[in-house]
Amino acid sequence: MTNIRESAETGIMSQEELFSRVNALKKEMNALILAHYYTLPEIQQVADIVGDSLALARAAEKNSADVIVFAGVYFMAETAKILNPSKLVLMPDEYAGCPLADSCPTDDFSAFKERYPGAVVITYINSTAEIKALSDITCTSSNAEHIIRQIPENRQIIFGPDRNLGGYLARKTGRDLILWQGYCYVHDAFSEQALLKACGEHPGAELIAHPECREEVLRHAAFIGSTQMLLNHTVSSHSESFIVATEPGIIYEMQKRSPHKTFIPAPKDPDNPRSVCKQMKQNTLEKLHQCMVNRKPEIVIEEQLRLAALHSITTMLEMTPG
């Protein structure tokens, strides 16, 4: 342990060396590394489990590790800690927040909720613990439709914080959702005009899109789904090429699963081919290694808030098959 720590503090290490040290630390600490599909390829390579928000929440719920290292954004690591109060939950970069989650301040959301007494509050997992504590059910883009369909028709539903996902779910389920007006800057940035141009340049390529994209983009998509659903679709589809309207980090796994297929990141605007989540990319291999060596930054959450937020997460897991 001491050697690893000393060496980490004194020199720049090669990627291979970092991989081998992270793997050694994993064993030594009985640590589980969870990484979202939007992180850098080298983070996905060293992780024990790579997944979308739902898969990672499930992995955080059921594991025998002593330490969880979460390479994602803050709300993901916070969810892991809410589910595992006795475990050490580490993050490579504690400043890797999610601007979508941050677009929903607690006091404003609380006042919004008060305007609709009796409404069921369903919030996307991309939200703070305080917002989860104000919610009845948490959801992800993989299970949101399934959860909404379980709410009796006579109940109003507040959905937040993503207005694009909420709008998509309202159209899909026919429910009149009361929407918080937040959005993900990555998915909201895809341009319809640039996309249509890309479709013209790649005839035969199938346009697939995440429901966090705007309606004007979704309406052109041949397939819409969460990150995991998009990945599964690229494997099962007969198409040989895809224009991918979601964070391009997922292309690493898509290409791995279908090496012979072509994946084109959807354009953000005519001059900018990619819309990238800067916060996900803050998880570098160096920071991942350092957080394991130093056993920090550690996620800490006050117990009363944890318990209040836990209810909406466990309700989601109970309402989700598999």
Judged by CB under 6 A, the residue of 17, 58, 99, 255 near ligand SF4 is: 99
Q: How far is the CB of 7 from ligand SF4 (least distance, A)?
A: 32
Query: How many residues sit close enough to ligand 13P to count as binding (CB under 6 A)?
Result: 11
Distance in Å from the first CA to the final CA of the chain: 39
| Residue 191 binds ligand 13P (CB under 6 A) | no
DSSP bridge pairs for 179: 159
Judged by CB under 6 A, the residue of 52, 78, 206, 253 near ligand 13P is: 52
Residue 62 main-chain phi, psi, to 5 deg: -120, 95
Q: Could you tell which of ligand 13P, ligand SF4, none binds residue 266, using a CB distance below 5 to 8 A set by kind?
A: none
Q: Under a CB-based contact definition with an 8 Å cutoff, are residues 129 and 102 in contact?
A: no
Q: How far is the CB of 286 from ligand 13P (least distance, A)?
A: 22
Q: What is the DSSP letter of 267?
A: P
CB-wise, 25 or 71, nearer to ligand 13P? 71
Judged by CB under 6 A, the residue of 121, 247, 258, 282 near ligand SF4 is: 247
Find the binding residues for ligand 13P in span 264-293 (CB under 6 A): none
Q: How far is the CB of 44 from ligand SF4 (least distance, A)?
A: 15
- Give the separation between CA 53 and CA 297, rounded to whole angstroms: 21
Q: Interface mask (CB under 6 A) for ligand SF4, residues 261-300, using x and -?
A: ----------------x-xx--------------------
Q: How far is the CB of 276 from ligand SF4 (least distance, A)?
A: 9
Q: Which amino acid is at 144?
A: A
Q: Strands, DSSP E only, in the chain?
A: 31-36, 49-51, 67-71, 88-90, 120-124, 137-139, 157-160, 178-179, 206-209, 223-224, 241-245, 262-265
Q: Under a CB-based contact definition with an 8 Å cutoff, are residues 107 and 92 in contact?
A: no
Cis before residue 211, ω within 30 degrees of 0? no
- Give the separation between CA 163 and CA 170, rounded to whole angstroms: 10
Q: Could you tell which of ligand SF4, ligand 13P, none binds residue 99, using a CB distance below 5 to 8 A set by kind?
A: ligand SF4
Judged by CB under 6 A, the residue of 84, 142, 283, 290 near ligand 13P is: 142
Q: What is the DSSP letter of 39?
A: S
CB-wise, 149 or 296, nearer to ligand 13P? 149
Find the binding residues for ligand SF4 in span 32-61 (CB under 6 A): 38
Q: How far is the CB of 9 from ligand 13P (least distance, A)?
A: 32
Residue 303 burial by Cβ neighbours in a 10 Å radius (0-12, 13-18, 19+):
exposed
- Give the separation between CA 269 and CA 275, rounded to whole angstroms: 9
Q: How far is the CB of 245 from ligand 13P (least distance, A)?
A: 12
- Give the separation between CA 265 and CA 276, rounded to whole angstroms: 10
Find the binding residues for ligand 13P in span 101-140 (CB under 6 A): 126, 140
Q: Under a CB-based contact definition with an 8 Å cutoff, are residues 187 and 175 in contact?
A: no
Judged by CB under 6 A, the residue of 39, 84, 141, 275 near ligand 13P is: 141
Where on the chain is the footprint of ligand SF4 (CB under 6 A)?
38, 73, 98-100, 126, 184-186, 247, 277, 279-280
